[in-house]
Chains A and B, each alone.
Chain A
Amino acid sequence: MSIVPKETIEVIAQSIGITNLSPEAALMLAPDVEYRVREIMQEAIKCMRHSKRTTLTASDVDGALNLRNLEPIYGFASGGPIRFRKAIGHRDLFYTDDREVDFKDVIEAPLPKAPLDTDIVCHWLAIEGVQPAIPENAPLEVIRAPAENQIYQQKDGPLIDIRLPVKHVLSKELQLYFQKIAELTMSKSNPSLFKEALVSLASDSGLHPLVPYFTNFVADEVSRGLNDFLLLSNLMHVVRSLLQNPHIHIEPYLHQLMPSVVTCLVSRKLGNRFADNHWELRDFTANLVALICKRFGNTYITLQSRLTKTLVNALLDPKKALTQHYGAIQGLAALGHNVVRLLVLPNLEPYLSLLEPELDAEKQKNQMKSYEAWRVYGALLRAAGLCIHDRLKIFPYLPSPSPSFLNKGKGKIISTEPNKRKLSVDSSSAMQVDKPMGDDNPPQNSVQPSSSGQASDGNAPESRNAKEKEGSKGRAITMKAILDQVWKNDLDSGRLLVKLHQLYGDRILPFIPSTEMSLFL
């Protein structure tokens, strides 16, 4: 019933010398005690409010007792709040911590310092509505929070103008650092030093104030220097380092950074010289894009969808240059196998038919064009192949011929590679998915451009392709049967494989995991 238990009443009664209090009387008194306590507290709270305080003190209670014409409780008039302690062994029993003090200690103690006298200090809380940044005012962080509220409120009231006392101070050292990095990026004369700079960018912890300047710098230079291959490459390396730096919070600047990065991926022309290996730059940038998507895709859900939309548009537009197609394919491929499966593979067939005339050296006289077409073809093959590889990998291992075969699965692939390479010029080493992209390009470069007889080289796969198309028809039926039998629950990927095989012929085979391959061959 009452929150004051009967026992409390009994204890209080004993403490003031009433020993013969009957339990019934205690029970009757308890609710009244509670009511009186509440009444006193209500008055005490009034006293507290009128003393312009938000903490109740003992003096407020005394004031309340005075209001009720009661004797105040003496002995609690200390300034600070009373410290209560829990009685050991009791959950709800408290006592005030009242230390015994030796008189001798009190007398011998040095006089305490006299309390300081009350005084008034005056300062400007605001000057024409703006808080000056002086030590008397609350520090800036505190100001900023309400400032945001004001911005929020501004939406419904257009009249408010906001003048924030925010001043951005960049230390001399940081300014120097920024200048140096910018110089290095622009000059391209000292690759080793630039590498060091990149390491510093990727690891230094104090660079956060510079991030807006760097993003600005990158955006400016990319838009200005599309003809300067080396500069673009350097800039992308800078971006990568910034992304790698764990101390930098780059998120707010992504929107500024993304356009320049995507430009380096799908621009028609990167660099103006023939020797510029813009393929490499595109590959690098594709990885960069994938890195960004992986890191910030969760926070910005629209990021990846917007990006893929841009890339797919670039890919499917036949008016765009092949270089752009290449960039788009690489970008999509870097975004993961699902992206490739969903967005590239459905368009594969029409696209390849579009590409075929370009591949044909006889029809396409422009060697450069033909070369580009082969690059695109290679990129597509690789993307599709990796995708199907991934697809096949997720299926449980089948009853394979022998466990030993299973164990050396990986080695088997590698060992088969040299055989395949003569068939498929393309990046077979990309089987090791982890390997950076840059590595699988050199073989391409070395193989294709160096082969002077491009016509024959181009012809050979074409004719072989045709030949195999006929041959594989019969094989495809058997293969389909096997596939149906093996992957009953995923006809889809079986069909995919068949389709890919139709399109690419044997060149797709290196991408099929060895265990499965053993079923084919």
Chain B
Amino acid sequence: MDPEQLDEFVMGYLKKKGFNGAAKQLQEALHNNNNNNGTGSSSSFNSTDYHNDPELTKLIRSFSQSENDPTRYRNGYSNLRSWAYNSLDLYKHELLRVMYPVFIHCYMDLVGKGHTQEARAFFNSFRKDHEMIHLRDLQKLEGVLVPSHLEEMEFARSLRQSKVNIKICQYSYDLLLQYLHRTESTLMLGIINEHINFQVYSGQPNSSSDDIDAVTIVGSFQETADHVNQKEIQWGLLEDSLEDRLEKTGSLLTDSEKGQGESKDGDVDDSNKKRSTEIGKQGSSLKKLKKDKAGNATAKVARQETSTVSPAPRVKSELALPVMSTDVEESILEDLRNRVQLSSVAMPSVSFYTFVNTHNGLNCASISHDGSLVAGGFSDSSIKVWDMAKIGQAGSGTLQGESDTNDQVAGPNGRRNYTLLLGHSGPVYSATFSPPGDFLLSSSADTTIRLWSTQLNANLVCYKGHNYPVWDVQFSPFGHYFASCSHDRTARIWSMDRVQPLRIMAGHLSDVDCVQWHPNCNYIATGSSDKTVRLWDVQTGECVRIFIGHRSMVLSLAMSPDGRYMASGDEDGTIMMWDLSTARCITPLMGHNSCVWSLSYSGEGSLLASGSADCTVKLWDVTSSTKLTKAEEKNGNSNRLRSLRTFPTKSTPVHALRFSRRNLLFAAGALSKPTS
């Protein structure tokens, strides 16, 4: 190579990279050099040295000649790819994991340099490799075509700025480096150095299946997640909860129970009658509840036994909790006393509320804690509340007809048998009843949250604070406080008596789609379109846990009653069970094949119910899974959570689920006529 040409290249390279100072210096040096050469000095061993080194020349040439050549990416990547696919089976999956970050960064480099056409061709020819795991990311990236998009798009930006952590065993790492050096693929080496952070470990490669990192690519995320997840959380239940009180009074009662048997039975019968009207189907439910009652005595004994085995730790509430009126407390205690003990062999009964004639307008459904009130939020901004107790009193005629409803007994609003709540000015995306059922909160696309009184059938307060549609709102387990989440990527904590939010939880990288309270009220969990679930401390507003593992947006959340576990359901139909303290996924629950809209734990936490867009309600055995995990922690990656039952509906996607305090499962959904 002609030395002058070479100098020119080096100069051009330096200028292009913006090393102006260095370029200037080089120029001066060259100038001097020439002068020196002219004077015949021999001080320029430096320059001759690099001119004669063939390795260096080659390297410099490769830098200069094809800096702008887009085919280099394609060739480099396809070589690396074919090498990785032909590598040893044992290490292949680890090496293949490197391919995805290299792929997307090659693509973004190409886009960034303005080779739109080549970028698209490159993307299309290799996207098949990654579609299985990263389909949704690819769909997002596919649209990036112009350098400015890289700046604009959150996802792309975070990818560019962060490094991906890849765990890789020593030997795979060596293999990879060897390959890169041998083939002198500096481009690939550059990308790998720039964007991948290898965590090399000694020993045999891990099995590919249980590696979460393979799914989420946003690297900085993983670090912060690891960091955040170190924090301590108190997942225990509240001191002096009603359950506790029940245990105490229960143990006192057991002695005197026999004596009081008569009167108690009377009470129970009364409550049964009340309930039966609430449910709305007198005959069958009465029978059913009689059965419940029969099971109660044994259930109570069983509960006492189990409760002594593993009591959840108790914590103090960090919020000032509202005082519960004695009436409410009494009724809750009564419910708890009459709770049916559920397990994998004792299945719950499921009462299904089907919305008919919704004309595709039902956006959300909510069921009050006792199942007597059902609210539907509609896309025409209206909220409709049905009082099932009244309908039950009116007779069971409504059960038959989809058409003759207007002839039914006139409700408070003329001929309708529901309460119409008007106030929002956009589709209503969520509704939630306060625990006693006296208030209803609704959130809407008009960015507001409204509080309604179910007794007055009137709007009480309008909470404005979010800037974008409010996707979800949830009352705390004790009422008064509520949490909301929105398209503006925040979740907020409110109290009923303030129109301003008390806390704003910011941190999610995309919409916050769902929110759920921890049973001890000290934490809230949020699920987001960034495919993570986060746990926030309500008092400090800090993020205390990040759960990574979902492959698509998280749509539903549920907390186990003992506060130890959380379940989250996503768009693909996967449900994940998380251990809150370790932020680890216990096991994914596969079974649904469409969005999981709703999740609910049974009262004592032994069963998990899930409702999905695939028109089924599924019951999962949770206790076996958690027990088995401990035993199988070392050897097992088998699917430990068992699907116990599947209840298909005729053609009703299940929008909402709730276990009542007595462990009757209520489900709701809108009948969707199959398109013929």
Q: How far is the CB of A253 from chain B (nearest CB, A)?
A: 29
- Please tell me if B359 contacts chain A, counting CB pairs below 8 Å: yes
Ranked 10 nearest A-B pairs via Cβ = A129-B347, A31-B145, A38-B143, A125-B350, A125-B352, A119-B405, A116-B357, A126-B350, A1-B117, A146-B646
Q: Are B356 and A119 in contact (CB under 8 A)?
A: yes
Residues of the A chain whose Cβ atoms lie less than 8 Å from the Cβ of B158:
none
Q: How far is the CB of A150 from chain B (nearest CB, A)?
A: 7
Give chain A's interface residues, CB within 8 Å of chain B.
1-2, 31-32, 34-35, 37-39, 42, 46-47, 49-54, 57, 59, 63, 66-67, 79, 115-131, 136-138, 142-143, 146, 149-150, 153, 156-157, 159-161
Residues of the B chain whose Cβ atoms lie less than 8 Å from the Cβ of A50:
363, 429, 469, 471, 513
Known A-B contacts A122-B280, A122-B353, A124-B349; A49 and B667 likewise in contact (beta carbons under 8 Å)? no
Tell me the complex Cα distance, A35–B155, Å: 13
Contact for A119 among B142, B402, B594, B667, CB less than 8 A: B402
Q: Are B347 and A121 in contact (CB under 8 A)?
A: no
Contact for A136 among B357, B469, B650, CB less than 8 A: B650
Q: Are B642 and A157 in contact (CB under 8 A)?
A: yes
- Please tell me if B348 contacts chain A, counting CB pairs below 8 Å: yes
Q: Are A49 and B357 in contact (CB under 8 A)?
A: no
Tell me the complex Cα distance, A117–B410, Å: 14
Known A-B contacts A46-B487, A136-B354, A143-B648; A39 and B143 likewise in contact (beta carbons under 8 Å)? yes
Contact for B145 among A2, A54, A115, A129, CB less than 8 A: A2
Tell me the complex Cα distance, A121–B149, Å: 50
By DSSP majority rule, is chain A's interface helix, strand, loop, or mixed?
mixed
Tell me the complex Cα distance, A63–B444, Å: 12
Known A-B contacts A50-B513, A79-B359, A121-B356; A150 and B648 likewise in contact (beta carbons under 8 Å)? no
Known A-B contacts A53-B360, A125-B667; A146 and B648 likewise in contact (beta carbons under 8 Å)? yes
Q: Are B469 and A153 in contact (CB under 8 A)?
A: no
Q: Are B406 and A117 in contact (CB under 8 A)?
A: yes
Other A-B pairs beyond A119-B356, A127-B288, 5, CB < 8 Å: A63-B469, A118-B358, A123-B351, A137-B650, A149-B646
Nearest to A42 among chain B residues (CB) is B140
Within 8 A of A (CB), among B344-375: 344-364, 374
Q: Are B416 and A117 in contact (CB under 8 A)?
A: yes
Residues of the A chain whose Cβ atoms lie less than 8 Å from the Cβ of B577:
none
Residues of the B chain whose Cβ atoms lie less than 8 Å from the Cβ of A38:
139-140, 142-143
Size category of the binding interface on chain B:
35 or more
Contact for B284 among A39, A59, A124, A146, CB less than 8 A: A124
Nearest to A147 among chain B residues (CB) is B646
Within 8 A of A (CB), among B499-554: 511, 513, 529, 553
Q: Are A52 and B647 in contact (CB under 8 A)?
A: no
Q: How far is the CB of A259 from chain B (nearest CB, A)?
A: 37
Known A-B contacts A79-B360, A122-B353, A136-B650; A117 and B405 likewise in contact (beta carbons under 8 Å)? yes
Nearest to B384 among chain A residues (CB) is A118
Q: How far is the CB of B245 from chain A (nearest CB, A)?
A: 29
Q: Are B405 and A35 in contact (CB under 8 A)?
A: no
Q: Are A120 and B146 in contact (CB under 8 A)?
A: no
Q: Are A124 and B350 in contact (CB under 8 A)?
A: yes
Tell me the complex Cα distance, A49–B573, Å: 13
Give chain B's interface residues, CB within 8 Å of chain A.
116-117, 120, 139-140, 142-146, 149, 279-281, 284, 288, 291, 344-364, 374, 376, 378-379, 384, 386, 388, 391, 398-400, 402-403, 405-406, 416-418, 427, 429, 445, 468-469, 471, 487, 511, 513, 529, 553, 555, 571, 594-595, 597, 613, 616-617, 619, 621, 624, 638, 642-650, 653, 655, 667-668, 670
Q: Are B344 and A122 in contact (CB under 8 A)?
A: no
Q: How far is the CB of B134 from chain A (nearest CB, A)?
A: 16
Nearest to A163 among chain B residues (CB) is B347
Q: Are A150 and B646 in contact (CB under 8 A)?
A: yes
Residues of the B chain whose Cβ atoms lie less than 8 Å from the Cβ of A119:
355-357, 398, 402, 405, 417-418
Nearest to A46 among chain B residues (CB) is B511
The number of residue pairs between A and B whose CB atoms lie closer than 8 Å in the complex comes to 208
Residues of the A chain whose Cβ atoms lie less than 8 Å from the Cβ of B650:
136-138
Tell me the complex Cα distance, A32–B153, Å: 12
Contact for A49 among B349, B469, B513, B638, CB less than 8 A: B513
Known A-B contacts A54-B594, A131-B647, A138-B649; A157 and B624 likewise in contact (beta carbons under 8 Å)? yes
Q: Are A67 and B468 in contact (CB under 8 A)?
A: yes
Q: Are A66 and B445 in contact (CB under 8 A)?
A: yes
Q: Are A122 and B594 in contact (CB under 8 A)?
A: no
Nearest to A2 among chain B residues (CB) is B145
Q: Are B445 and A63 in contact (CB under 8 A)?
A: yes
Q: Are A150 and B645 in contact (CB under 8 A)?
A: yes
- 16 contacting pairs across A/B (C-beta < 8 A): A1-B120, A37-B143, A52-B670, A63-B427, A67-B468, A119-B417, A120-B386, A120-B418, A121-B399, A121-B400, A122-B281, A125-B647, A146-B648, A159-B344, A159-B621, A159-B624
Tell me the complex Cα distance, A123–B359, Å: 21
Known A-B contacts A52-B613, A127-B288; A118 and B357 likewise in contact (beta carbons under 8 Å)? yes
Nearest to A39 among chain B residues (CB) is B143
Q: How far is the CB of B396 from chain A (nearest CB, A)?
A: 9
Nearest to B639 among chain A residues (CB) is A156
Q: Are B145 and A35 in contact (CB under 8 A)?
A: yes
Q: Are B346 and A120 in contact (CB under 8 A)?
A: no
Tell me the complex Cα distance, A52–B349, Å: 25
Tell me the complex Cα distance, A75–B538, Å: 45
Residues of the A chain whose Cβ atoms lie less than 8 Å from the Cβ of B619:
129
Nearest to B670 among chain A residues (CB) is A52
Q: How far is the CB of A43 from chain B (nearest CB, A)?
A: 8
Residues of the B chain whose Cβ atoms lie less than 8 Å from the Cβ of A117:
357, 405-406, 416
Q: Are A52 and B354 in contact (CB under 8 A)?
A: no
Nearest to B529 among chain A residues (CB) is A46
Q: Are B345 and A161 in contact (CB under 8 A)?
A: yes
Residues of the B chain whose Cβ atoms lie less than 8 Å from the Cβ of A115:
357, 359
Q: How far is the CB of A38 from chain B (nearest CB, A)?
A: 4
Tell me the complex Cα distance, A38–B142, Å: 9
Q: Are A116 and B352 in contact (CB under 8 A)?
A: no
Q: How far is the CB of A54 from chain B (nearest CB, A)?
A: 5
Q: Are A52 and B346 in contact (CB under 8 A)?
A: no
Q: Are B402 and A121 in contact (CB under 8 A)?
A: yes
Q: Are B279 and A122 in contact (CB under 8 A)?
A: yes
Q: Are A125 and B351 in contact (CB under 8 A)?
A: yes
Known A-B contacts A122-B280, A125-B350; A1 and B405 likewise in contact (beta carbons under 8 Å)? no
Tell me the complex Cα distance, A74–B21, Å: 58
Known A-B contacts A51-B429, A121-B354; A59 and B347 likewise in contact (beta carbons under 8 Å)? no
Nearest to A63 among chain B residues (CB) is B445
Residues of the B chain whose Cβ atoms lie less than 8 Å from the Cβ of A131:
647
Nearest to B648 among chain A residues (CB) is A138
Tell me the complex Cα distance, A321–B152, Å: 93
Q: Are A120 and B355 in contact (CB under 8 A)?
A: yes
Residues of the B chain whose Cβ atoms lie less than 8 Å from the Cβ of A34:
143, 145
Known A-B contacts A122-B352, A122-B353; A51 and B427 likewise in contact (beta carbons under 8 Å)? yes
Residues of the A chain whose Cβ atoms lie less than 8 Å from the Cβ of B445:
63, 66
Residues of the A chain whose Cβ atoms lie less than 8 Å from the Cβ of B405:
116-117, 119
Q: How far is the CB of A202 from chain B (nearest CB, A)?
A: 39
Q: How far is the CB of B598 from chain A (nearest CB, A)?
A: 9
Contact for A59 among B379, B616, B621, CB less than 8 A: B379
Residues of the A chain whose Cβ atoms lie less than 8 Å from the Cβ of B344:
159-160
Residues of the A chain whose Cβ atoms lie less than 8 Å from the Cβ of B613:
52, 54
Contact for B398 among A121, A128, A159, CB less than 8 A: A121
Tell me the complex Cα distance, A54–B612, Å: 11
Known A-B contacts A52-B364, A67-B468, A150-B646; A120 and B353 likewise in contact (beta carbons under 8 Å)? yes
Nearest to B618 among chain A residues (CB) is A146
Tell me the complex Cα distance, A129–B291, Å: 14
Q: Are A137 and B649 in contact (CB under 8 A)?
A: yes
Q: Are A32 and B347 in contact (CB under 8 A)?
A: no
Tell me the complex Cα distance, A42–B642, Å: 34
Nearest to A143 among chain B residues (CB) is B648
Q: Are B648 and A142 in contact (CB under 8 A)?
A: yes
Nearest to B117 among chain A residues (CB) is A1
Tell me the complex Cα distance, A387–B504, Å: 91
Tell me the complex Cα distance, A51–B391, Å: 27
